[in-house]
């Protein structure tokens, strides 16, 4: 099919970047907690990423994605840029930063045509 200059061949597997750095540092004092977080970050999240990358095809983000600070998480320097990515999943456990009702914040790169 052809829609607005895009064809079925324009779509590529979804490229997912997972940002979960803060989880590991929060588990230093509890070995059981460290094991659970390790299982989450080393097994669950990568397998979920692999599954969705193979299941979904998208028109690729051409400029990558910049994740900025928001109500739910803080980033060194206020932002973090991810090249070759169509979606960034930021995993946080500290919910006291979040305003009630905030589930996520999305901002994407411009689509070039």
**Domain total of the chain:** 1
68: left (phi over 0), alpha (psi -120 to 50) or beta: beta
Looking at the domain assignment, is residue 88 inside a domain?
yes
3-state DSSP: the chain helix, strand, coil percent, rounded to 5? 35, 20, 45
pTM of the model: 0.66
- The per-residue pLDDT for range 33-48, each reduced to its tens digit, is 888 888 999 999 999 9
Looking at the domain assignment, is residue 53 inside a domain?
yes
- Beta 65-68 vs 79-82: how paired, if at all? antiparallel
Domain that residue 42 falls in: 9-97
Looking at the domain assignment, is residue 1 inside a domain?
no
Residues 52, 64, 112: CA angle, nearest 5 degrees: 105
- Top pLDDT among 86 and 1 is at 86
Looking at the domain assignment, is residue 111 inside a domain?
no
Say what the pLDDT of residue 100 is.
58
Looking at the domain assignment, is residue 106 inside a domain?
no
- The per-residue pLDDT for range 74-86, each reduced to its tens digit, is 666 677 788 889 9
Read off the pLDDT of each residue in 4-14 and give the average, rounded to a whole number: 77
Three-state DSSP class for residue 28: coil
- The per-residue pLDDT for range 86-106, each reduced to its tens digit, is 988 888 776 565 555 545 544
Looking at the domain assignment, is residue 44 inside a domain?
yes
């Amino acid at each position: 099919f052809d829609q607005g200059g895009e064809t079925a061949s324009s779509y590529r597997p979804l490229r997912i970047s997972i940002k979960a750095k803060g989880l590991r540092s929060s588990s230093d004092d509890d070995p059981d907690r460290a094991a659970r977080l390790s299982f989450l970050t080393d097994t669950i999240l990568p397998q979920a990423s692999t599954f969705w990358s193979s299941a979904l095809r998208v028109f690729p983000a051409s400029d990558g994605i910049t994740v900025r600070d928001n109500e739910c998480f803080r980033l060194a320097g206020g932002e973090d840029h991810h090249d070759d990515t169509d979606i960034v999943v930021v995993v946080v456990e500290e919910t006291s930063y979040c305003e009630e009702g905030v589930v996520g914040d999305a901002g994407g790169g411009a689509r070039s045509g």
